Structure 1
């Protein structure tokens, strides 16, 4: 479980394809400080299992299912990625509950720069629209954000200077893909209400 509060802007340093899967090597000095084989680290919002960690890098295997349902397949050496270690039970929950299970991939539609923040509009797969509401939570590339406005095929978020400086969303341009995870609480509520009918 994660919070969507990015700890570090890491970098892809290796991509090794193999039979439809990929082994990623990621540089992240902060998140590798206590990383061991089997640990979880979210990479752009996708929970990955550490295979090996050394010299401020870690490797993780990414299977075809994950490549098909996330934007990780588009990563190449030099790509910047948002990194977060799992939340500990003693930690404050600064963002919202994030599982690291991507629900779909959106695309940056537009950016409206402001003096202190940017408003970014992201396309929304139709099957996810029912879970996204104005002032609700959504995870974009692993970042916990508040929805400014939700529509049937898109939503907008306002990015503060810290988010712009310390995450991939400060660098993404229209046309770039982003991983989306909707609020898991909304999915459970829908399931419970559906079972009562």
Structure 2
């Protein structure tokens, strides 16, 4: 479980393609402070397991399902990703409950500076609009964000300078994909209502 408060950005240092999937080596700093074999790290919102590590980087494996459901199958050496270690049981709980289970990818519709802040708009894939509500929580590339506005086909978020500077949002442009994890509470409510209707 994660909070959606990105600790740092990392850089893809190496990519290896195998018959079973893809292996990434990611250079980082903060997330390596107490890393261990088998630890969970959110990589741009995708919960991945550390298979190997050294003082400057860690290695994760992308199974075929991960490659199919995320854009990590397309990242290359030099690409920037958001990193967060799993939430400690005795730590502060900022952000919101983030599982690291990406639901889909959304597409950046527009990026606009607004004073010192930024407004990002995203197009939503069909079928996911019911999970996104104005003032509700969403996770984009592992970042816990609040929905500022909602329209028929997408939504907007306001990005403060710190978030813009410390995450890979500063690398995003219209047409780029982002990982979307909707609020898990919405999915539980939907499931309960479906069960009640049976």
TM-score range, shorter chain: over 0.9
Q: Is structure 2 residue 43 aligned with structure 1 residue 43?
A: yes
The one-character-per-residue Cα deviations of 1:133-172 (angstroms, maximum 9, x if unpaired) are 0000000000000001122321100000001100001221
Matched residue, 1:127 = 127
CA contact 1:126–1:152 (8 Å) conserved in 2: no
Q: How many corresponding residue pairs?
A: 197
Q: Name the structure 2 match of 1:100.
A: 100
Question: Shift of the alpha carbon at 1:20?
Answer: 4.9
Tell which deviates more after alignment, 95-104 or 121-130: 121-130
For the pair 1:140 / 2:149, whether they are aligned, the reply is no
What secondary structure does 1:196 align onto? helix
1:88 maps to what in 2? Answer: 88
Match of 2:59 in 1: 59
SS in 1 for 2:30: coil
Taking the aligned partners of 2:150 and 2:57, their CA distance within structure 1 comes to 37
Matched residue SS, 1:25: strand
Structure 2 residue runs of 5 or longer lacking an equivalent are none
- SS of corresponding position for 1:164: helix
SS at match of 2:133: coil
Structure 2 residue aligned with 1:163: 163
Query: Structure 2-normalised TM-score?
Result: 0.97
Q: Once the 2 structures are TM-superposed, how far is the Cα of residue 91 of structure 1 from its aligned partner?
A: 1.4
Q: Which residue of structure 2 aligns with residue 184 of structure 1?
A: 184
Please give the TM-score of this superposition, normalised by the length of structure 1. Answer: 0.98
Give the match for residue 70 of structure 1.
70
Tell whether the 8 Å contact from 1:10 to 1:26 is kept in structure 2 after alignment: yes
Deviates more, 1:95-104 or 1:14-23: 14-23
Extract structure 1 runs of 4+ deviating beyond 6 A. none
